[in-house]
Structure 1
Amino acid sequence: MAVILLSLFSGITQAQNKAKNSVQLVRKDGEKKVEVLIDGKLFTSYYYPESLAKPVLYPIISAGGHEITRGYPLAPRAGERVDHPHHVGHWMNYGDVNGLDFWNNSDAIPADQKSKYGTIVHTGILEAKETPKGAELEIGMDWVRPDGKILLKEKTRFVFSSEGEKRSITRITTLTAQDLSVSMKDNKEGVFAIRVARELEHPSNKPEIFTDANGIPTTVASLNNEGVSGKYRSSAGKEGDEVWGTRGTWVTLNGQIGSETITVAIVDHPSNPGYPTYWHARGYGLFSANPLGQKELSGGKDVLDFKLQPGESVTFKYEILVISGYQPNDQEMNKEALKFGNWR
Structure 2
Amino acid sequence: MKKIFVFVSLILSTRAMSQQGFTIKENKASKEIAINFNGQLLTAYCYYDSSRKPVLYPVNTVDGIMVTRQYPFHIVPGERTDHPHHTGIWLNYESVNGLDFWNNSTAIEPAKRNQYGTILHQKVLDKKTNGNTASLTTASTWVRPDGKVLLNENTRFNFSVNGNDFIIDRITTLTATDTTVLFKDVKDGMLGMRVARELEMPSKEKGSFIDDKGNVTVVPPSGSDVTGMYYNSDGVKGDSVWSTKGKWAILTGKKDGKPVTIGMIDHPLNVGYPTYWHARGYGLFAANPLGRKVFSNGKEELNFSLAPKRSVTFRYRIIIHSGEPLTPEAMNQQADDFAKTR
Q: TM-score range by the shorter chain?
A: over 0.9
Q: Is residue 2:279 matched to residue 1:281?
A: yes
- Deviations, residues 139-175 of structure 1 (Å, cap 9, x unaligned): 0000000000000000000011111111011100000
CA RMSD of aligned residues (A): 1.6
Question: Is contact 1:21–1:163 with CA below 8 Å preserved after alignment?
Answer: no
Partners of 1:64 and 1:226 in 2: CA distance: 24
Output the amino acid matched with 2:337. K
The separation in 2 between residues aligned to 1:226 and 1:238, in whole angstroms, is 24
For residues 176-233 of structure 1, the C-alpha deviation after alignment (integer angstroms, 9 at most, x for no partner) is: 000000000101010001000000000110111011122221111113x222100000
Match for 2:224 among 219, 226, 251? 226
What residue is the counterpart of 2:89 in the other structure? 90
Match of residue 177 from structure 1? 176
Match of 2:144 in 1: 145
Corresponding residue of 1:55 = 54
1:37 pairs with 2:36: yes
In structure 1, what is the Cα distance between the partners aligned to 2:68 and 2:220? 19
> Quick check: 1:200 aligned with 2:199?
yes
Equivalence map 1:271-310=2 (5 Å): 271-310=269-308
- Give 1:64 deviation, angstroms: 2.6
Extract unaligned runs of 5+ from structure 2: 1-13
The correspondence of residues 237-316 of structure 1 with structure 2, limited to 5 A, is 237-316=235-314
Shift of 1:18: 8.9
- TM-score for both structures, normalised by structure 2: 0.94
Q: Which residue of 2 aligns with 1:5?
A: none
TM superposition shift of 1:324? 0.5
Tell me how far apart the structure 1 counterparts of residues 254 and 280 of structure 2 sit (CA, whole Å): 18
Q: CA deviation at 1:27?
A: 1.1
* CA offset digits 1:46-65 (Å, max 9, x no partner): 00021221010000011231
**4+ runs of 1 displaced by more than 2 Å?**
15-21
Alignment partners' CA distance in 2, 1:286 and 1:25:
28
Structure 1 contact 189–213 (Cα < 8 Å) conserved: no
Moved more, 323-332 or 284-293: 323-332
What do residues 272-300 of structure 1 show as CA deviations (whole Å, max 9, x unaligned)?
00000001000000000000001121111
Gaps of at least 5 residues in structure 1 are: 1-14
| Aligned equivalents of 1:308, 1:290: Cα separation in 2 | 17
* Identity in percent: 47
SS of corresponding position for 2:329? helix
Instruction: Name the TM-score, length of structure 1 as normaliser.
Output: 0.93
SS in structure 2 at match of 1:202 = coil
Does residue 120 in structure 1 map to residue 119 in structure 2?
yes
Q: Quick one: which amino acid aligns to residue 281 of structure 1?
A: A
Aligned in 2, Cα 1:138/1:204: closer, same or farther, shift over 3 Å? same
